[in-house]
Structure 1
Amino acid sequence: MLLDVDGVLLDSASAHQRIWNAWADLRGLDAGTVCGRTFGQRPEDTVRDVAPDLDPAAEREVLNALMRREGDAFPPMEGARPLLRALRPGAWAIVTSGSRLPVHERFERAGLPLPEVQIYGEDVLYAKPHPAAYQLAATRLGIAADRCVVVEDAPAGIAAGKAAGCTVIAITSTHKATQLPGADAYVPFLAELRDHLASLVSSGLSAGDTSAPSAC
């Protein structure tokens, strides 16, 4: 199983919006337009999209400072702890456009385990919606991408998972199902992954545990 982080394992939507709204105000940009271009992407890529005249690396530092103000505002999503604790070690990964250090800090505060395989925005030349991050995760797990299940909440992540050849389950935590085209299945909560994983594992896909009923 290949899991996105924000909106899937960490409830970061409110903090995410506050950070980008503050940045948009600083740069005189429309906050609604900016926020609509952020989900699933690296901050630098969003800056390139919405303000091509600005230096993405410099703006990343500004965004990092705004993020540090949020402190502990990244609790685990409901169902995240039991899901991760039930997955078989070595058979799952996190794949995020975020950075290593903040994710490690948030997982520690949230009491979430980290997998052996972790793919961050800085680990690939092209981030989501490009498939590189999911392809790299599958390679490091030693599992063919077409046998992997991706769990995502954002259009860019779903596009990346599908382009990598994975089966994609969309969590409708930050977007409506109609805003997430291309997913193979839709669930509102992590707890509802159980039934989907049972059927997917029985069809030969790798969902993190070969005993499907206990996968979640």
Structure 2
Amino acid sequence: MRIRAVLFDVDGVLLDSAAAHRQVWGTWSRLHGLDEDQVWELTFGRRPQDTVRDAAPHLDPLQEQAVLDSLLHELGLSCPPIVGADGLLRRIPADGWALVTSGDRSSVHRRFASAGLPLPTVQVYADDVAAGKPAADCYLLASRLISADPRECMVVEDSPAGVAAGSAAGCTVIGVTTTHKAAQLAHADVCVANLHVAAEELARLGFVLLGSDGRN
């Protein structure tokens, strides 16, 4: 099938947030006497509450998510756009893309505004689904909201959990090697080094991108 919609993860795909999140999770880990490296490995592509459940099952996941959100805000950490993100998003028709993230709506909106990135009509967040990545729920919901068959959707992900979610939903998956090596994203249909190459893959698969001026 021809690709009709592009479903983007946020962290590591559109926002360069690894350094900020590493600092937040490191601070949180030290507060609870947890191993920072072990906790960090549990975070990629997953909802914060799911990471908390695995890292510290004795803590309340939702309460700790609020702590993590406060830390991100208090530390004033920036999450600049990934190179090529703004140019690619502005070349996709407004009804042709969606956000599918394990983050929450308010922090994503705040960070997108700071980064100067546009927001699509369809946005799927952690609390919108019963099961987070690597479950398929988020991508199945996004494809339904954007009125496309999952087989007509291209998922752009940077984490093994995200790639697994997109594949489980039946979407074509591009793995971007911003946070993981290609070998770690082996279940993606194709791996690319950056969003410029991702745009080339979209065009190759029949997705019509607008010109750099936002016109056909």
Same fold (TM over 0.5): yes
Q: Tell me by how many angstroms 1:212 deviates.
A: 8.1
Distance in 2, matches of 1:136 and 1:44, equals: 20
SS in 1 for 2:75: coil
Structure 1: gaps (5+ residues): 202-206
Residue identity in the other structure for 2:23: R
Q: Which string of whole-angstrom CA distances, capped at 9 and with x for unpartnered residues, describes residues 39-60 of structure 1?
A: 1111100000111111111111
Contact 1:126–1:132, Cα closer than 8 Å, also in 2: yes
C-alpha change, 1:9 and 1:70, in structure 2 (3 Å) is farther
Contact 1:197 1:212 in 2 (8 A): no
Q: 1:194, 1:213 within 8 Å by CA — same for their partners in 2?
A: no
1:212–1:163: structure 2 CA closer, same or farther, 3 Å change rule?
A: farther
Q: 1:85 to 1:212 in 2, by over 3 A?
A: closer
| Matched-pair contact (CA < 8 Å) for 2:175–2:188 | yes
Q: Describe the SS at the equivalent of 2:90.
A: helix
CA 211–8 in structure 1, closer or farther in 2 if over 3 Å, else same: closer
Query: 1:72, 1:106 within 8 Å by CA — same for their partners in 2?
Result: no
Q: Percent identity?
A: 51
CA separation in 2, counterparts of 1:122 and 1:110? Answer: 23
1:192 Cα offset (Å)? 1.2
Is it true that 1:36 corresponds to 2:74 in the alignment?
Answer: no
Counterpart among 79, 84, 105 of residue 100 in structure 1: 105
- State which of 156, 164, 172 in structure 1 corresponds to 2:177: 172
Q: How far apart, CA to CA, are the structure 2 residues paired with 1:81 and 1:108?
A: 12
The residue aligned with 2:3 is none
1:204 aligns with none
- 1:143 and 1:65 map into 2 onto residues whose CA distance is 36
- Residue 120 of structure 1 aligns with which residue? 125
Greater RCO (CA < 8 Å, at least 6 residues apart): 2
Picking from 65, 68, 71, the partner of 1:66 is 71
**Aligned positions of 1:78-89 closer than 5 A:** 78-89=83-94
Deviation at 1:11, TM superposition (A): 0.5
TM-score, with structure 2 as normaliser: 0.92
Partner SS for 1:186: strand
User: How far has the Cα of 1:71 moved from its partner?
Assistant: 2.3
AA at the equivalent of 1:146 = R
The whole-number CA distance in structure 2 between the counterparts of 1:160 and 1:194 is: 21
Partner in structure 1 of residue 165 of structure 2: 160
- Residues 160-215 of structure 1: per-residue CA shift (max 9 Å, x gap): 000000000001001111112200111111111122112212xxxxx4xx258879
Q: Aligned pairs, how many?
A: 208
Q: CA RMSD in A?
A: 1.5
Report if aligned partners of 1:153, 1:171 keep a CA contact under 8 Å in 2: yes
Distance, in Å, in 1 between the alignment partners of 2:181 and 2:39 is: 19
1:192–1:158 Cα change, 3 Å: same
Structure 2 unaligned spans of 5+: 1-5
Aligned to 1:186: 191
Q: 1:72 to 1:109 in 2, by over 3 A?
A: farther
- Compute the displacement of 1:72 (Å): 4.8
Q: TM-score, normalised by structure 1?
A: 0.92
The letter of the residue matching 2:170 is G
Q: What is the aligned partner in structure 1 of residue 82 from structure 2?
A: 77
Contact 1:198 1:212 in 2 (8 A): no
Contact 1:72 1:109 in 2 (8 A): no
